[in-house]
Amino acid sequence: MTPQRYAILRYLMESYTHPTADDIFRALSPAYPSLSVATVYNNLKVFVDADLVRELTYGDDSSRFDADMSDHYHVTCTNCGTMVDFDHPPVKQVEDAAAASTGFSVLGHRMEIYGLCPTCKGMHS
């Protein structure tokens, strides 16, 4: 594992902000002057393929990356894009109901929750 690869993975594991590749690049480039955006993207792909990191794709926004591979949901601010974890037991009943009513072999689900974060809510009050 290269020092850059290790730094990217460590940054993801210590981050709770669900950063984009550009966020990671901006955070690490001062300490790693030879780091490129392409290197960050390539390493993120390696981590996703190895099931070390989850890629979160929502709409047209840049993908965000999460090193927490446990089953959990996210709440996203529609104003600033902040994304935070929301701890709630996975809604397994939804998957069971979908399988029962459609005959599908359900592989998983994604629930998206949107709103205004506390900072943005204060600005819009």
Q: What are phi and psi of 24, to 5 degrees?
A: -65, -45
Quote the CA–CA distance of 96 and 104 in Å, as a whole number.
Answer: 10
Q: Is 109 annotated as a binding residue?
A: yes
Q: Is 18 annotated as a binding residue?
A: no
Please, which residues have CB within 8 angstroms of residue 58's CB and are 6 or more apart in sequence? 64, 76, 112
| Tokens coding 55 | 């890629």
* Binding site as annotated, residues for Fe cation: 109
* Binding site as annotated, residues for Zn(2+): 77, 80, 117, 120
* Binding site as annotated, residues: 77, 80, 109, 117, 120
